[in-house]
Amino acid sequence: MRGGQQGQERRAPVLRDEWREPLRAQRDPLAEHPGRVRSNREDHKRWRKQTWIGRFVSTYGWRAYALPLLVALTAVVIFQTITGTSAPQAVEDEGPVQGPPTIGVPSTAIVGAPPKGLTQFDANLPTGILPAGGPFTEAGARTWRVVPGSAPQVGQGTTKVFTYSVEIEDGIDTTTFGGDDGFARMVSETLANPKSWTHNPQFAFTRVDAASGVTPDFRVSLTSPMTIRDGCGYDIQLEASCYNPAFEGQPRVFINEARWVRGAVPFQGDIGSYRQYLINHEVGHAIGYQRHEQCTANGELAPIMMQQTFSTNNNDAAKFDPGTVTPDGLTCRFNPWPYPIA
């Protein structure tokens, strides 16, 4: 009895509704690792219907969008590393806009003086005349004394380390503006200023003197107006300075003593700034900036390679440099530095 009752009590289990769906093996007995969950065939069908881009996005998610950008940035960095290029600097930090200097190019042409043969120029241009002021030596001896002293290299000089000496024409009395040493110190301190040419890592300067035994790349020579006329020309009768790469066989940056003492009208009496401009402008010619520039926007600082001694207005400048300057009415403010925002 008890056994029959037990047989009646052992009824087949009732399947619940959620178990009535078609059965599917949860494990693949043929797999290398039988414990691996078997994949869903419907998922495989949907996977095969996707494009390769869709499968890539499905697999990597947000990384699929970031990867192309990362690849592009990496390519840019590699290109800049190989070519040495980089993002452009701000406009105010560019310095001279005429392009790279012509360093080491042999030349005998005088750079910086008004062009020869210009006959329509008014020598009474108000901004070009020499201001009233202190005395200067009209005619020196046409020989120069090297100011003793040297200065260590300033600047990186990745392209060129220029050597220079500082000279005074015999016959010039420098006592009224600090003596020979005062002039030489002004030259060296100007070229060592971060706003000067060494802001560009291409350039470096080292001052040498006669005792060093080194033949300088150029000589910064304070010179009387009459000698300047021989060294720079005087077709336009205005006191000027210039760079002559072959004066008596020696490259010379001619600094006109008349201008050193009295300055220039466009600088509005700021003689210190004008002296810095004279040094930077003429040395700019000596290191390879051969052309002059013009004002590019009203009220902006004038380019250092503009002939600011005569004017900072393009209409005036076009009268004595018609081949370079366009008379467009623009007027700049005087500026003594190649890189004024340094």
- Please report, for the chain, the start and end positions of each structural domain, with discontinuous segments joined by +: 38-87, 91-320
* Segment of 50-59, 66-75, 223-232 carrying the highest mean pLDDT: 223-232
Tokens, residue 328: 């467009």
Quote the DSSP letter at residue 305: T
* Segment of 100-109, 230-239, 268-277, 309-318 carrying the highest mean pLDDT: 268-277
Average pLDDT, whole number, for the chain?
Answer: 78
Rounded mean pLDDT, 28-33: 46
Angle, alpha carbons 83-84-85 (nearest 5°) = 90
Which residues, 6+ apart, have CB-to-CB distance to 305 below 8 Å? Answer: 96, 98, 281, 284, 289, 291, 292, 293
* Segment of 16-20, 28-32, 196-200 carrying the highest mean pLDDT: 196-200
Residue environment code for 67-105, b if the CB has 16+ CB neighbours within 10 A, otherwise e: eeeeeeeeeeeeeeeeeeeeeeeeeeeebbeeeebeeee
Tokens, residue 245: 């790469």
Q: What is the pLDDT of residue 122?
A: 56
* Segment of 12-21, 75-84, 269-278 carrying the highest mean pLDDT: 269-278
Q: Is 184 within 8 Å of 166 (Cβ atoms)?
A: yes
Of 42-56, 74-88, 231-245, 292-306, minimum mean pLDDT range: 74-88
Q: Is 308 within 8 Å of 302 (Cβ atoms)?
A: yes
**Nearest residue to 287 (alpha-carbon basis) of 164, 184, 189:** 164
77 confidence band (pLDDT: 50, 70, 90): very low
